[in-house]
Structure 1
Amino acid sequence: MPEISQFGLGKASHHSGATGAAGATWFDVDMADDADRQWLMGLQEINDQTRQALLAPVRFNHYEQVPDGTLVSIRTPRSEQIEDISELADLKLLIGPARAMTVRSGPIAAVEVLRRHRSDSSLVTAVDLLGFMVSAMTKRMEAVIFDLTQDIDAVEDALLDGGTAPPPQALSELRRRIFRTRRQVNATQQVLAPMTTDPALVLDADDRETLVRSSNYVTRYLQGLDECRTRVQLLEDQIDAQRSETMTRSSLNLTIVATVFLPLTFITGLLGMNVAGIPDQHNPFGFWTVTGLSVLVALLAWVLLRREIHDRQLDQASRPKKTLAQEPKTLSPENVELTLPPRPSAETGHQDKSDQTAVEGHHPGFRRKIVRIYGFALLLALALFFFHLVMIFDVAGAIIGQKAWMLEHFGHHTGKTLILGCFFLLFAAHLAESAAWGFFLRGTRLLPSLTEGVYFAAASITTLGFGDVLLKYPWRHIGPLIAISGVLMFGCSTAFLFVIMQDVWVGHL
């Protein structure tokens, strides 16, 4: 048999098994007790739909209208211990005009508090029971929020005053406590907030004021938890900032040490390298030639990186101007000539964009870009010519030096083999030089793709001059530069093959 308490007009009287007394009556049903369960199943004063709703499990906190009143379904902590809010239990509260019924399974903290204070004079209506139970469920959160605030204060004082960062698990534990507490309080607020404004609930002014007051209590607790969460987030940001500053200082110290020892490292590596096998190792200038080429490659890489950074800055600076330039213009007699398409060039059939490039030439860094690219082109021409000479005198010379071995193995075919080997060697050298010019044209963005760069370089080196791929102004002079270097290298190749063929013919090889 459930415990029954009666309230009315600020007075409370307790009965056992009677429901006919005047005032609001509270039925406390414990489903863990077989007698209470049988009593609820046999109660004729409630509708079957209401009975099924009372027996259904609580899947989420909510309220609903049933034939016998308003049914509030919540999950609330079972234990009365403040620090133990993890174990939850189902609680149903049926609110009628003159009757309130709680259905639970086992002891629940909020119900136990209500039973101890059921003689309170503030309990007049059934809605007062709901307000009292909500107050009992949420007021115990005050101690939890207070403990959280004290712990966060301690961490803040240690971090800001002493500079001592807490262990990572400390902030994780604070976050866990905040999230777990906020989940319980927010679930209660999701039930109370709609009830305060729901016109379908038949409540008088006092009952609605009770719900509003309980909802305000829960809202304040949520605000306190949100403040704790914000403070923990600020602490994590402060810790991350301190760690970043520490890492920056360490990186700066390492950079200073590396910069100090960089010249020593370069000298040690230069003087300690194994020079055996390098070209011209017996030449007194061979070592300095290799050293100079290494320094030249390093300077070239530095200049290219600096150019990339400079071009990126120019693109970012000119981006707003391009956006404005792309806006449609209104046709008028003053600006109608601006809408005319560019005239095709009479010589090439392509659109002449020299005027546009001339406008770009007024850019402060454009002249330096022209000088830099033409300087790289001259250096590349010299480097490729030196490469061609190395292929002729060193590589081909080494092949010719094996004449005795070839006579032993090829016999009277030695001459043809020697000429064929030199031909393939020079052919590969010219292909490599065309590819080098193609990489240069693509890397400097003078042509849109590597294949077009290699094709243009090969056509210029061989002086074919098809004209289907052209460089824009002011880069047109790079084509003749490639052609001049190509003619000189082809001349060297022709002269070398002539010498080889003459030697083979004279020796009847």
Structure 2
Amino acid sequence: MDGVRQWRLNRDGSSAEVDLTGEILDGWGTAGALDWVHVNCARPGARDWLEAAGLEPLVLRALLAAETRPRCSVHGAGVLINLRGVNLNLGDEVEDMVSLRMWVTEGLLVSVQLRRLMAVSDVMEGVTRGQGPDGPAELVARLALRLADRAEPVVAGLNEKLDTLEDQVIEGLSALDRRGLADIRRVAIVLRRHMAPQRDALSTFEIEDMPWIRGHHRSRLREATERMTRLAEELDAIRDRAQVVHDQIMDARAEAMNRQMLLLSVVAAIFLPLGLITGLLGINVGGMPGAEDPRAFWIVTGALVVLGLGLVTLFWRTGLLGRH
């Protein structure tokens, strides 16, 4: 079946892909090797096969749940683990993370995906080349590490975009991509929301008292946990840096507006006494000085020019005009 792939993984790293079409999982994982069954529910017939595979109802519901968050919980002799990876499918949003659900026992690992997940394909390629894990915990660690490998370029890309915006703020460029900044913050927040629980899920799996989780498996799981921790910390830093850039942009806009308002205020202050004088001379009452003198208009005009130049000089020396 195209949507269901199965491998029998030996402890020496060798593997063999087998055909489970029409079979159930009862009895698998008891031959001293690890049986990995991966179900891609995006393919026709895969979901029906899984529902008929003989899993416990609780396990089946967890594997086929519509919405999941990263978690790790023990159920009987096995462990239910949900992880998430960045969505690198063409046309999808990278922050719309794809879930990987797993049921892990000593000899059996059933993994389920509802959409294409490139990290799983990476691990499959290694198994096909004969580089299989030596136990279920090792396989979980490999999947988690490949999820981190696929997420790291996305986080690095966010850092580079933010670096560009920070340089623009430093250079004082006016055409800043505020929509791009908002997208960076949104993606970082959404990714962070899944990375932190994923770190906790891997940490919980590492410390579970399962006899089939050996010492070197715990080391690999610890490495995967640290990778997720570092990604979560980088996303925190990106979110904080984006907030700082946003504040700087708003400060620059406020400062520009303040300069414009200051300039308008200075201009109004210059023309206020001039308007007062012209308004006073424009009143239509008797006794207006210079009403009969043909030179009075030019005298008043010259006095207004001198007064205006004096006010401009005064504001310039006080630094009000030098700030715009």
TM-superposed deviation, 1:216: 0.4
TM-superposed deviation, 1:131: 1.4
**Counterpart mapping for 1:57-68 below 5 A:** 57-68=66-77
Per-residue Cα deviation, 1:381-405 (whole angstroms, up to 9, x for no partner): xxxxxxxxxxxxxxxxxxxxxxxxx
Distance 1:187 1:164, change over 3 A: same
Q: Secondary structure at the match of 2:146?
A: helix
Give the match for residue 292 of structure 2.
Answer: none
Larger radius of gyration: 1
TM-superposed deviation, 1:23: 1.9
**Does the 8 Å contact 1:98/1:126 carry over to 2?**
yes
Distance in 2, Cα, partners of 1:81 & 1:117: 24
Amino acid at match of 2:213: L
**Does the 8 Å contact 2:80/2:102 carry over to 1?**
yes
Give the match for residue 79 of structure 2.
Answer: 70
* Match for residue 123 of structure 2 among 108, 114, 119: 114
**Does the 8 Å contact 1:3/1:29 carry over to 2?**
yes
Return 5+ residue gaps in structure 2 as ranges: 21-27, 287-324
Distance 1:30 1:233, change over 3 A: closer
Asked if 1:244 corresponds to 2:291, the answer is no
Give the match for residue 4 of structure 1.
Answer: 6
TM-superposed deviation, 1:106: 4.9
Q: Secondary structure at the match of 2:66?
A: coil
Give the match for residue 14 of structure 1.
Answer: 16
TM-superposed deviation, 1:247: 2.3
* Match for residue 105 of structure 2 among 92, 96, 107: 96
Distance 1:79 1:272, change over 3 A: same
% identical aligned pairs? 25
Amino acid at match of 2:162: I
Distance 1:109 1:245, change over 3 A: same
Distance in 2, Cα, partners of 1:21 & 1:131: 22
**Does the 8 Å contact 1:30/1:36 carry over to 2?**
yes
Distance in 2, Cα, partners of 1:128 & 1:205: 11
Asked if 1:256 corresponds to 2:258, the answer is no
Give the match for residue 171 of structure 1.
Answer: 181
Q: Which has the higher strand share?
A: 2
TM-superposed deviation, 1:215: 1.0
TM-superposed deviation, 1:128: 1.5
Give the match for residue 354 of structure 1.
Answer: none
Distance 1:235 1:212, change over 3 A: same
**Counterpart mapping for 1:280-295 below 5 A:** none
**Does the 8 Å contact 1:145/1:225 carry over to 2?**
yes
TM-superposed deviation, 1:66: 1.9
Give the match for residue 159 of structure 2.
Answer: 149
Distance in 2, Cα, partners of 1:26 & 1:133: 12
TM-superposed deviation, 1:59: 3.5
Distance 1:176 1:37, change over 3 A: closer
**Does the 8 Å contact 2:9/2:34 carry over to 1?**
yes
**Does the 8 Å contact 1:141/1:181 carry over to 2?**
no
Amino acid at match of 1:63: C
Give the match for residue 504 of structure 1.
Answer: none
TM-superposed deviation, 1:190: 4.1
Q: Secondary structure at the match of 2:14?
A: strand
Q: Secondary structure at the match of 2:255?
A: helix
**Does the 8 Å contact 2:83/2:144 carry over to 1?**
no
Distance in 1, Cα, partners of 2:255 & 2:87: 47
TM-superposed deviation, 1:148: 1.8
Q: Which has the higher helix share?
A: 1
Structure with greater contact order relative to length (CA < 8 Å, sep ≥ 6) = 2
Distance in 1, Cα, partners of 2:261 & 2:41: 66
Asked if 1:127 corresponds to 2:137, the answer is yes
Distance 1:114 1:164, change over 3 A: same
Asked if 1:219 corresponds to 2:221, the answer is no
Amino acid at match of 2:232: L
TM-superposed deviation, 1:248: 2.5
**Counterpart mapping for 1:321-470 below 5 A:** none
TM-superposed deviation, 1:269: 3.7
Give the match for residue 191 of structure 1.
Answer: 201
Distance in 1, Cα, partners of 2:122 & 2:250: 45
Give the match for residue 85 of structure 1.
Answer: 94
Q: How many residue pairs align between the two structures?
A: 276
TM-score calculated relative to the size of structure 1 = 0.48
Distance in 2, Cα, partners of 1:16 & 1:162: 62
TM-superposed deviation, 1:143: 1.4
Return 5+ residue gaps in structure 1 as ranges: 276-280, 282-509
Distance 1:244 1:14, change over 3 A: same
Amino acid at match of 2:10: G
Distance in 1, Cα, partners of 2:219 & 2:38: 25
TM-superposed deviation, 1:99: 1.4
Amino acid at match of 2:233: Q
TM-superposed deviation, 1:258: 2.0
Distance in 2, Cα, partners of 1:246 & 1:113: 52
Distance in 1, Cα, partners of 2:45 & 2:257: 69
